[in-house]
Amino acid sequence: MNRIVGFLLVLSTVVLAACSNGNSEAPANGAEPTPRVPVEVERARLGAISAFYSATATLEADGEARVVPRIGGRIVEIVAEEGDSVQAGDVLARIDDDRLRLELARAEADLSRLRQDFNRQREMHQRNLIATEVFERLQYEYQAQQTQVELVRLELSYSHITAPIDGVVSQRMVRVGNMVNTTDPVFVVTAMEPIQAVLHVPERELARLRPGQPARLQVDALPGQAFVGQIARISPVVDAASGTFRVTVELADHGQRLRPGMFGRFHIVYDSREQAVLVPVAAVMSEDGRQSVFVVNSEQAQRRAVTVGYRNNGEFEIVDGLEPGERVVVTGQASLRSGAEVLILGDTVEEVEG
């Protein structure tokens, strides 16, 4: 805004000066001198520019597990709360296990009795004092009881509800005293690394995107912060109804600042050019689908057709028609015609200051 106000002030001064000169220093033949058009210019420069596809999406967790008890019963202890970080195998809650402990004690007692019988019968079998059929039947009973003990121990271990994956407890759905069964989830554990987002991209972009391309992200919840990820996978199928295909972007090593459910804006860079001729967007004029710029040589502006490429960060890439270092008009084109004399405002200020 200050730059525009300054430009208008200088323009007014130039017009007044031109009028004054016309009154006091008019040529002998009476013709009015042509005032120079005040403009601002910038030099075309070499730099890097990228082309990217922009989209919005909601962040998701790559891994999420709804924890369901393996046995039914009454919750007697809650070990983990929402927000707690857990490792796979950590106990989240405990189910009443009194009955299972009694069953285990009975099974172990039966196993101890059968073990004694088995050892005694084995010695008698080695001495050929009992038939092989009788010994093998006892051996089978002993092995079956060993298996029964292991089954009861396994079921007893299920009284501890554990985390199936590493992550954070994102939801707890039970309280102490609640009865649970083997069909209803009681916890949700969410893996916070990596965070991902699924973009639905128009099919015209299919040839430009590929796995591994970098993606930049900004979220409304964390203004001023940028995050970097990459395309993890691309669906080979285009949805006929919407004309889009799925692109999954993963974002890792973000210090757990990102959370599932956040709304994000993605920019996927699919091409970069390191030595591109760049000019400000304001320098390029479009008319009937053709682009041009005013190039200033000495104090004269010439209109020149150019071919533009990518646009990024307020700059256009000039593919053809302009060389690095040439001066282009960025303010004042509306008053210009090709061949017009110009007054470069920046140069004028430098001369005054000097």
24-52 tens-digit pLDDT: 444 445 556 668 889 899 999 999 998 88
Q: DSSP letter string over 235-288?
A: -S--BTTTTEEEEEEEE--STT---TT-EEEEEEEEEEEEEEEEEEGGG-EEET
Which candidate, 101, 98, 140, places its Cα nearest to that of 117? 140
Residue 97's contacts (CB-CB under 8 Å, 6 or more residues apart) are 73, 156, 159
Please state the φ and ψ torsions of residue 205, each to the nearest 5 degrees. Answer: -90, 0
Q: Tell me which architecture the domain covering 37-49+274-353 has in CATH.
A: Beta Barrel (2.40)
Q: Which two tokens stand for residue 97?
A: 């296990």
- pTM strictly above 0.85: no
Cβ pair 40, 301 in contact under 8 A: no
d(CA 249, CA 265): 12
Question: What mean pLDDT value characterizes the chain?
Answer: 86
Burial 259-279 (b: 16+ CB within 10 A, else e): bbebebebbbebeebeebbbb
Which candidate, 242, 217, 240, 239, places its Cα nearest to that of 230? 217
For residue 344, pLDDT beyond 90: no
For residue 323, pLDDT beyond 80: yes
pLDDT for residue 269: 87
Q: Which two tokens stand for residue 230?
A: 């990459």
d(CA 330, CA 41): 5
Give residue-wise pLDDT tens across range 235-286.
999 999 999 999 999 987 667 788 888 999 999 988 888 899 999 999 999 9
Q: Which two tokens stand for residue 69?
A: 């008890």
Q: Is 328 exposed, middle or buried (0-12, 13-18, 19+ CB in 10 A)?
A: buried
d(CA 154, CA 144): 15
Q: Which two tokens stand for residue 147?
A: 């298996």
Give residue-wise pLDDT tens across range 285-317.
998 889 999 999 988 999 999 999 999 888 999
What's the full length of the chain, in residues?
Answer: 354
Which candidate, 191, 204, 199, 203, places its Cα nearest to that of 229? 199
* Topology adopted by domain 52-62+190-273: Elongation Factor Tu (Ef-tu); domain 3 (2.40.30)
